[in-house]
C-alpha cells in the first residue's frame, strides 16, 4: 500500500473534531431547522470544500457525457462531474474530503488514524482485504473504498461497487477508465431484504445522505435487489469482504444476504450509527446467520470475521 506523502491534514482533522462537538450543541438549540442548517454550512461545509480544492483537485476536463474534475487521492484518482443538475460542486467536494478523511487517509496512515479519528476505517486487524479477494462495496457513492480496495485485491481480485444513484454511477465509470481499474464492476442497485422497486430521497447539500426529506430534496425510483439474488444470478460469483454504509438499510441488506453470508463467511465492516439500535440489532442478526462470527464494535462500525 502506498504511504501518504506526509502532508497530514492536521488542521482539517482538528476542525472536524471541533465541528462535531459544536454541531452536537447546535442541533439541540431551540432555533428553526433552517437556521441550524445555515450554522452548519458556515462552520463546516465552506472550509471543508476549500481543502478539497487546494489539496486534491489536479485537473478539469470533459468528455461526451459532460465536464468533470479530477482529484488525486494518492494511490488512485477520482473523477467527479461538475455539471450535475442537482448536486453543487461544493457539496460534492465536501463529500470527497469527508471520504478521504474517513476512508482513504486512515488506510494510508493507520497510526495517525488511531490517534485522531473515532469513526473507524473499514479495515482493521482481522477484517482486511487481501490479494485475490472478491469485495462488495455496498453504498459505493463516488467510489473511494472501491478504488482503494481495487489496489489491495489486485488483478486476481474483484470489487463490486453497489450504487443505485445515476450521478455517482456516472462518476465511477469515468474513474474506472481513469485508473484502468478493470477489476471494478458497478452494480446499479440498492441492497435490501427483497427484490422490488423503491423510492430513495437525496439531499442536494449532502451527497452522502439518503432518506433525508427537506424542501430541496429529490426522490428517485430505483431497483432494489437482495444480495442473495445477485450472487445466485451469478452477477457476483463469491464474496470475501463486505463493506456496508447504506443509511440505515444495513439490517435489511444483511437479511437479504443471509444465504451468501452463511455460504461464503465474508469479513464484514458494517456501519452501525444510522439507527439507535443498530449495534445490537446488526450484531444479533449476523450471529443468527452464523454463530461462529467474532465481533469488534467500533464507535460507528461493527467488524465481524470467522
Predicted pLDDT at 213: 45
At 15 the pLDDT is: 62
CA distance 286 to 128: 18
Please state the pTM of the whole predicted model: 0.86
User: Which tens digit of pLDDT belongs to each residue from 216-225?
Assistant: 678 889 999 9
Beta strand 66-72 pairing with 57-63: antiparallel
Residue 38: pLDDT band (50, 70, 90) is confident
The pLDDT of 205-226, averaged and rounded, is: 73
Domains, the chain: 10-305 (3.40.50.150)
pLDDT of 46 over the 70 cut: no
Winning range, highest mean pLDDT, from 7-11, 103-107, 239-243: 239-243
Cell numbers 438549540: residue: 29
Q: Tell me: pLDDT of 214 over 60.
A: no
Most confident of 40-49, 169-178, 205-214: 169-178
Confidence of residue 172 (pLDDT cuts 50, 70, 90): very high
Retrieve residue 278's grid coordinates: 443498530
Model confidence at 257, pLDDT cuts 50, 70, 90, reads: very high
pLDDT score recorded for residue 158: 98
Please classify residue 83 by burial: count the beta carbons closer than 10 Å to its beta carbon, then call 0-12 exposed, 13-18 middle and 19+ buried. Answer: exposed
* C-alpha dihedral sign at 242, 247, 248, 252: negative
Band the pLDDT of 2: cuts 50, 70, 90: very low
So what's the pLDDT on residue 8? 52
For residue 6, the model assigns a pLDDT of: 44
Indicate the average pLDDT of the chain. Answer: 86
What is the per-residue pLDDT for 28? 80
| Residue 47: C-alpha distances to residues 89, 106, 203 (Å) | 14, 21, 20
What percent of the chain has a predicted confidence (pLDDT) above 90?
Answer: 57
Query: Is the model's pLDDT at 119 over the cut of 50?
Result: yes
Closest-CA residue to 185 (of 161, 206, 163, 205): 161
Determine the Cα–Cα distance for residues 38 and 46; give it in Å rounded to an integer: 11
Q: Note the pLDDT of residue 16.
A: 65
Mean pLDDT score, 90-115: 78
Confidence of residue 113 (pLDDT cuts 50, 70, 90): low
Q: What is the mean pLDDT of residues 180-194?
A: 96
Contacts of 54 (CB under 8 A, 6+ apart): none
**pLDDT tens profile 130-167:** 999 999 999 999 999 999 999 999 999 999 999 999 99
Which of 20-34, 66-80, 104-118, 241-255 is least confident?
104-118
Amino acid at each position: 500500500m502506498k504511504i501518504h506523502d506526509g502532508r497530514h491534514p492536521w488542521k482539517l482533522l482538528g476542525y472536524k473534531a471541533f465541528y462535531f462537538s459544536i454541531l452536537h450543541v447546535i442541533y439541540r438549540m431551540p432555533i428553526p431547522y433552517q437556521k441550524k442548517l445555515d450554522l452548519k454550512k458556515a462552520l463546516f461545509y465552506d472550509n471543508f470544500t476549500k481543502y478539497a480544492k487546494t489539496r486534491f483537485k489536479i485537473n478539469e476536463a470533459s468528455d461526451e457525457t459532460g465536464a468533470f474534475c479530477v482529484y488525486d487521492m494518492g494511490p488512485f484518482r477520482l473523477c467527479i462531474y461538475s455539471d450535475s443538475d442537482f448536486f453543487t460542486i461544493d457539496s460534492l467536494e465536501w463529500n470527497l474530503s469527508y471520504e478521504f478523511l474517513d476512508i482513504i487517509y486512515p488506510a494510508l496512515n493507520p497510526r495517525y488514524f488511531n490517534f485522531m479519528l473515532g469513526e473507524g476505517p473499514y479495515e482493521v486487524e482481522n477484517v482486511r482485504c487481501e490479494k485475490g479477494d472478491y469485495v462488495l462495496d455496498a453504498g459505493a457513492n463516488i467510489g473511494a473504498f472501491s478504488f482503494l480496495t481495487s489496489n489491495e485485491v489486485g488483478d486476481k481480485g474483484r470489487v463490486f461497487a453497489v450504487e443505485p444513484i445515476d450521478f455517482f454511477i456516472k462518476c465511477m465509470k469515468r474513474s474506472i477508465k481513469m485508473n484502468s481499474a478493470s477489476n471494478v464492476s458497478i452494480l446499479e442497485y440498492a441492497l435490501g431484504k427483497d427484490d422490488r422497486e423503491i423510492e430513495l430521497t437525496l439531499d442536494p447539500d449532502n451527497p452522502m445522505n439518503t432518506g433525508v426529506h427537506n424542501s430541496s430534496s429529490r426522490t428517485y425510483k430505483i431497483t432494489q435487489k437482495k444480495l442473495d439474488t445477485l450472487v445466485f444470478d451469478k452477477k457476483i460469483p463469491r464474496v470475501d469482504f463486505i463493506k456496508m454504509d447504506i443509511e440505515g438499510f444495513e439490517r435489511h441488506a444483511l437479511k437479504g444476504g443471509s444465504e451468501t453470508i452463511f455460504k461464503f463467511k465474508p469479513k464484514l465492516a458494517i456501519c452501525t450509527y444510522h439507527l439507535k439500535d443498530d449495534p445490537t440489532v446488526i450484531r444479533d442478526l449476523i450471529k443468527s446467520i452464523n454463530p461462529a462470527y467474532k465481533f469488534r464494535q467500533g464507535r460507528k462500525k461493527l467488524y465481524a470475521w470467522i
